[in-house]
Structure 1
Amino acid sequence: MEELLADYHIRTDINVAWGEMDALKHVNNVVYFRYFETARIDFLLQTGLISLLQDEKIGPVISETQARYKRPVTFPDTLTIGTRISDIQSDRFTMHYAAFSQAQQAITTLGSAQVVMFNFSTGKKALLPNAVLSVLEQHCRAEIES
């Protein structure tokens, strides 16, 4: 696992639930977006960004997201979702996810999301504050071919 998730320093363990499987007896594709959401929030918590964003009264919204399914996952299993950042711009960045199956000892799913900062008071995009940029840059990695 360490070698496969080496570029993903923030990690979140998620237990696969029986009810997340579909009629084909593997985790339904939509569930991965919930896993990525959980990993995204955990990234914000682990890095302290959640507090910085709340202080600034802005927050992340997803403008685009995608997943690439490499292997099916079934119950029981625990997935370790690795998260990293790339493409930091003045008002947005990209989050990348890699789902590692403990049962299969392999990466099963890759994903990404374009995250845009949003001011909920004004209803408009917001610039990334310097303190937020600094944290994001610590977790930024160049694009990796998968």
Structure 2
Amino acid sequence: MKDLLSIYPVVIDIPISWGDMDAFQHVNNTVYFKFFESARIAYFEKLHVMDVMSTTGVGPILAATKCRFKIPLTYPDTVSVGAKVDAIEQERFIMTYAVISHRHKKIAATGEGEIVTFNYQRNQKAPVPDEVRHRILDLEKT
């Protein structure tokens, strides 16, 4: 499984809960977006984004997200979720995700998030702070 996640600098493990399943007896589609969110927050924690946000007022906000389902997941299982940044633009960056099933030892889903940098004091988009841009580039090198 490590080779499936080797390109992701941030990887977290999440156990699937019984309550994650729906009437069709597999993990509900909305849960995958929670997996992505958890990986995204872990990525932001590695960057210390909240420190930058507290001094500049500029932080991330999710503008768009999507998911491509590959195989259904069921309880019991654990997933490893990888997150990485594929592109950085002036006021946004694109993060990609992979959800790997421990039981099946394969990719269960892939996803993407468009994250806009937002000035929460001025209530408008803002450029990606240089400090955050450099931290992303450094993390992606590892």
TM-score (norm 2): 0.93
Instruction: Look up the match of 1:66.
Output: 66
Q: Following superposition, which runs of at least 4 residues in structure 1 exceed 6 angstroms of deviation? A: none
| CA–CA distance in structure 2, aligned partners of residues 47 and 106 of structure 1 | 28
Residue 121 of structure 1 aligns to a residue whose secondary structure is coil
The within-5 A match list for 1:24-103 is 24-103=24-103
Structure 1: gaps of 5 or more residues: 142-146
Letter in 1 for 2:50: I
Answering whether residue 113 of structure 2 is matched by residue 113 of structure 1, we say yes
What letter is aligned with 2:82? G
- In 2, Cα distance between the equivalents of 1:15 and 1:50? 26
Q: How far apart in 1 are the matches of 2:38 and 2:140?
A: 19
Any unmatched runs of 5+ in structure 2?
none
Distance in 1 separating the partners of 2:12 and 2:54 = 22
- Return the TM-score normalized by structure 1: 0.91
Cα drift, residue 64 of structure 1: 1.0
Percent of residue pairs identical: 35
Structure with the larger helix share: 2
SS at match of 1:103: coil
State the one-letter code of the partner of 1:90. Q
What secondary structure does 1:87 align onto? Answer: strand
Deviation by residue 1:28-67 (Cα, 9 ceiling, x = unmatched): 0011111111111111112323322332212211111100
Tell me the equivalent position of 2:131. Answer: 131
Q: Are the equivalent residues in 1 in contact too, given 2:47–2:132 (CA < 8 A)?
A: no
8 Å contact from structure 2 (residues 52, 59) kept in 1: no
- Paired residues of 1:49 and 1:135 also in contact (CA < 8 A): no
Alpha carbon RMSD of aligned pairs, Å? 1.3
C-alpha separation in 1, matches of 2:131 and 2:29 = 35
What amino acid does structure 1 have at the position aligned with 2:35? Y
Are the counterparts in 2 of residues 93 and 116 from structure 1 also a CA contact under 8 Å? Answer: yes
Aligned to 1:12: 12
